[in-house]
Amino acid sequence: MTFGCKQLVLALLALVPTSQAQWDASRFAWYTGDAGSDFASAVPIGNGRLGAAIYGTGDERITLNENSIWSGPWQDRANRNSRSALSNIRSQLMSGDMTGAGQATLQNMAGNPTSPRQYNPLGDMTISFGHGSGRSNFLRYLDTYQGTAFVTYNYNNVNYTREYVGSYPHGVIAMRMSSSQAGQLNVRVSLSRSQYTTSQTASTSNGVNSVKLNGNSGQSSNAITFSSEARVVNTGGSVTTDGRSISVSGATTVDIFFDAQTSYRYSSQSAWESALTNNLNRAVSAGYAAIRSAAIADNTRLIGRVSLNLGSSGSAGNQDTRSRLTSYRSNPNADPQLATLMFNFGRHSLVASSRDTGALSLPANLQGIWNKDFSPAWGSEHLAININTEMNYWPAEVTNLGETHKPLFDLIKVAKARGQTMANVMYGCNNGGFVLHHNIDLWGDAAPVDYGTPYTMWPMGSVWLSLHMMEHYRFSGNRTFLQTDAWPVLQSAAQFYFCYMFNWNSYMTTGPTLSPENPFTVPGDMRTAGRSEGIDISVQMDNSMLEELFKAVIQTCQILGLANSECGSAQSYLSRLRPPSIGSYGQILEWRREYGEPEPGHRHMSAIWGLFPGSQMAPLNSSTYSAAARRLLDHRMQNGSGSTGWSRTWVMNLYARLLDGNSVWSSAVAFLQRYPSPNLWNTDSGPGSAFQIDGNFGFTSAIAEMLLQSHNVVHLLPALPSAVGTGSVTGLVARGGFVVDITWSGGSLTGASILSRNGGTLALRVAGGSQFSVNGVTYNGPISTTAGTTYRITPGMRWLRLYGVYCL
Ligand SMILES: *[C@@H]1O[C@H](CO)[C@@H](O)[C@H](O)[C@H]1NC(C)=O
Ligand SMILES: *[C@@H]1O[C@H](CO)[C@@H](O)[C@H](O)[C@H]1NC(C)=O
Ligand SMILES: *[C@@H]1O[C@H](CO)[C@@H](O)[C@H](O)[C@H]1NC(C)=O
Ligand SMILES: *[C@@H]1O[C@H](CO)[C@@H](O)[C@H](O)[C@H]1NC(C)=O
């Protein structure tokens, strides 16, 4: 034991080949070819409001998004029959007429029209270089740490480079094109959009070279309208315009700054156009180099808070990402760093698609902010709040990106006002409560969406969203936020249910409602036996979510010392919720009784929401419920669930909550083998199928949940897979505001340090309950911490005696 830690680290570093230092396999997605015409091979960057997907083609194509460009204005879709039909539908459901009630629900309660607004692309930028075939030494990459993209190649003995960065500080996408030989760069810059373009111009006057494209959402009045502009700044060469594009010839460097502004955030075209002009003037005078370094400083400040090491891949990680994904399908064990890259890609994607851009910032939607289609996949469901939007934010707090959560809170506030009106129109509840159904749009549209009994009528969206605000408080400890932001939302969410719920078998219950997207078979003693239906009362997910809502209200009342009537009502409703029931094969029952399952491998895990993201069914809370939740999850998996990318990542999070690391890992491997497109986006059923960003975020969340959980206690390595027995992580966050660094080896903890941001009590657990010490003292119960102080965790006595004196 003369070999100290420092020597050990140096010896290990010497083993890392230099080729890998160059291409950190956890950090870069890189390609030796361009994306061709495949959007899902384009490299995605963004500044939280503007998104860009870069193809790297000979004539560069960049698909551009701005997060408030959607398909139209606010629409009042409320069904005015709902209020009077409600009590009859409830009676039908209580008496067992499932089919009659389902039909009556659709006819009287579905929205009209059935769809909210959908997300739309801004358009494409084309930068024509005249470099068709004949490019060599081609390289294109995404740097998930800096949030930058890069393209380089040789053409006619000249090296060309293109750099791209999404800048949150300057509010633009900035680009630099350059040639290694002076005067060899010729480009033509244009903007295009396939629909609803209202003007397309270019001009060069007073040294300002600008390409502009304006468009709208297509309606004759009240359309969402936008203006966008690219400023072209050249070093060397000459500039001309044909009135629609800007051409630069004989330059050495060309910089492009892009921004777009819309009617969503401004009251008049002159207002958003002057914001656009001012922003671009500011960008041009700052210059590319300053914008790039500020953007990188901003991105790395957020991204750099967490560093994950799950082991190194050697040569398997040192390949073009496209080949790497292919190799992984047959030999996953060779490349553990692919999981780390995917974890980092999720954090990059969140920072790139969800930033605070003022009171009307918008959250990452189903495609983040990377969409090329006017009728995108799941077009009417861009903010599906029966899982997908929430999943986007699962990694936000635990991976130390709490500020990326704020755009979701902004939209909740918009939706709350809509939902208060909807509560009155549809349910006759006029007590300040708000209701949302299974989708919203940028206007906070609160009406039911689509037309089908397994999905349309789900009056629970406000609960799940509101709980995100409570979680933000639990992780950050920001009391001002709890008081001024979260409480009004939690209060209003609860108020709705105090009006809406009704007594059934002496439980306060919900209905008509459903268990998201999963149908059941109507049993013989109900009408119409054998049919597939979706609408019911007292669905398990509703009860699990309401339990957490009422507990959140009670907790907030305690922390803030409130004496509002909701504090008492939450307590009394909490005691009148139907507890989970357990069915014939030991599973949590999804509905109020055991129905037949037409889809036993269904992708939604709604019945065990109380396991994740909830905590009602977590093993340390209830071994009975967690065992029954596991039974249902295993049954689903044995029947083919986890069958879409996002569903597979929910499964990962659920196994993490069951403290089963090996099952998390086998689903992580299955996810990486099947779902990512070449640019690492999650897809519905594999490359070529619909892209949804939610699964990327679910993946990142699950990797964090494997290493740190905090819904009961601050739990280090709760679900460590044996496949990644040695590794480390820094900067994860636990509820209570504890920042946690952990190292492990041979499958167990070797050390941890925990920074207390806010002070407060720290209750700890290590893995399956192993012994450990805090600052050298054996842990035997919660300790009280001092804000700003770091606590060192060392493993149990035996380990400490052997190695601890050398390393810790
Ligand atoms: C062009 O790039 C290659 C690598 O792709 C490099 O070896 C070469 O030195 C570069 N040439 C110039 C003129 O920069
Ligand atoms: C706490 O929340 C308030 C209200 O949302 C916000 O203004 C403030 O910036 C937050 N404080 C921190 C440290 O994030
Ligand atoms: C789970 O257990 C914790 C700690 O005992 C408790 O605070 C929390 O309310 C429980 N959650 C649920 C949903 O039962
Ligand atoms: C469904 O899961 C059960 C285990 O819960 C299993 O016995 C059964 O074979 C599975 N059915 C199919 C069709 O895979």
Residues framing ligand 1 (Cβ under 6 A): 137, 154, 159, 180
* Ligand 4 nearest-atom number relative to CA 585: 5
pLDDT at 806 over 70: no
Q: What is the pLDDT of residue 72?
A: 97
Beta-strand runs (E) in 641-734:
708-709, 714-716, 727-734
Please tell me the predicted confidence (pLDDT) of residue 22. 64
- Average pLDDT, rounded, for the chain: 95
Q: Which atom of ligand 1 is nearest to the CA of 181?
A: 13
Q: How far is the CA of 548 from the centre of ligand 3 (A)?
A: 9
Atom of ligand 1 at shortest range from CA of 152: 5
CA of 484 to the centre of ligand 2 (A): 10
Contact 484 CB / ligand 2 (< 6 Å) = yes
Q: What is the average per-residue pLDDT within 583-606?
A: 97
For 224-237, what is the mean pLDDT? 97
Is the predicted pLDDT of residue 718 greater than 50, yes or no?
yes
- Whether ligand 2 lies within 6 angstroms of the CB of 249 is answered as no
Out of 136, 152, 156, 180, give the residue to mutate to test ligand 1, the one with the largest number of ligand atoms within 8 Å of its CB. 180
DSSP SS3 for 740? strand
DSSP 281-334: HHHHHH-HHHHHHHHHHHHHHHHTT-EEE----GGGGSS-HHHHHHHHHH-GGG
d(CA 66, CA 370): 9
Which residue lies with its CA nearest to atom 11 of ligand 4? 639
Pocket of ligand 4 (CB under 6 A): 585, 600, 635, 638-639
pLDDT score of 371? 97
pLDDT of 803 strictly over 70: no
Q: Averaged over 284-291, what is the pLDDT? A: 98
The single-letter code of the amino acid at 805 is V
Residue 507 token pair: 């439980």
Pocket test for ligand 3, best of 712, 714, 761, 765 (most atoms within 8 A of CB): 712
Asked if the model's pLDDT at residue 621 lies above 90, the reply is yes
Predicted pLDDT of residue 805: 44
| pLDDT bucket at 375, cuts 50 / 70 / 90 | confident
Interval 310-354: pLDDT, tens = 999 999 999 999 999 999 999 999 999 999 999 999 999 999 999
pLDDT of residue 341: 98
What percentage of the chain's residues is helix, strand, coil (to nearest 5)?
35, 25, 40
Residue 536 DSSP symbol: B
Q: Determine the distance from the C-alpha atom of residue 394 to the mean position of all C-alpha atoms in its chain, rounded to a whole number.
A: 6
As given in the structure block, the two tokens for residue 205 are 């006057």
Q: Is the CB of 709 under 6 A from ligand 3?
A: no
Q: Which residues contact 544 (CB under 8 A, 6 or more apart)?
A: 580, 609, 610, 614, 616, 617
Question: Of all helices (H) and strands (E), which one includes residue 91?
Answer: helix 82-95
Q: Is the pLDDT of residue 2 over 70?
A: no
The pLDDT tens digits for 440-474 are 999 999 999 999 999 999 999 999 999 999 999 99
Nearest CA to ligand 3 atom 1: 621
State residue 549's pLDDT score. 98
Select the more confidently predicted residue: 14 or 552. Answer: 552
621 ligand 3 Cβ < 6 A: yes
- What pLDDT is stored for residue 3 in this prediction? 33
pLDDT tens, residue by residue, 395-407: 999 999 999 999 9
Q: Answer whether residue 20 shows pLDDT above 90.
A: no
Residue with the bigger pLDDT between 358 and 801: it is 358
**Average pLDDT estimate for 670-693:** 97
Decide: 710 in ligand 3 pocket, CB within 6 A: no
Q: Contact at 8 Å (CB) between 289 and 141? A: no
* CA-CA-CA-CA dihedral for 325, 331, 337, 338, to nearest 10: 20
Q: What is the pLDDT of residue 380?
A: 67
Three-class HEC string of 430-444? CCCCCCCCCEECCCC
pTM equals 0.95
Q: Which bound ligand lies closest to the C-alpha atom of 158?
A: 1
Question: At a CB cut-off of 8 Å and minimum separation 6, what does 571 contact?
Answer: 550, 554
Alpha carbon nearest to ligand 2 atom 6, residue: 481
Q: How far is CA 412 from CA 49, 360, 511, in A?
A: 17, 10, 23
Q: Which ligand is nearest to the CA of 159?
A: 1
**Side-chain half-sphere CA neighbours of 68 within 13 A:** 27
Ligand nearest to the CA of 602: 4
Mean pLDDT, residues 49-53 = 98
Report DSSP state, residue 522.
P
Relative to the alpha carbon of 153, which ligand is closest?
1
736-756, pLDDT tens digit by residue?
999 999 999 999 999 999 999
Distance of CA 133 to the CA centre of its chain: 38
Beta strand 253-262 pairing with 225-235: antiparallel
Residue 279 near residue 273 (C-beta atoms within 8 A): no
pLDDT band (50, 70, 90) for residue 132: confident
Distance separating alpha carbons of residues 55 and 450, to the nearest angstrom: 34
CA count, 13 A, side-chain hemisphere, 673: 14
For residues 301 and 321, give the distance between their C-alpha atoms in angstroms, rounded to a whole number: 26
Q: Which atom of ligand 4 is nearest to the CA of 634?
A: 5
Ligand 3 proximity of 615 Cβ (cutoff 6 Å): yes
What contacts 24+ positions apart, CB below 8 Å, involve 279-282? Answer: 279/170, 279/171, 279/172, 280/172, 280/210, 280/229, 280/231, 282/170
Element (DSSP H or E) covering residue 673: helix 661-674
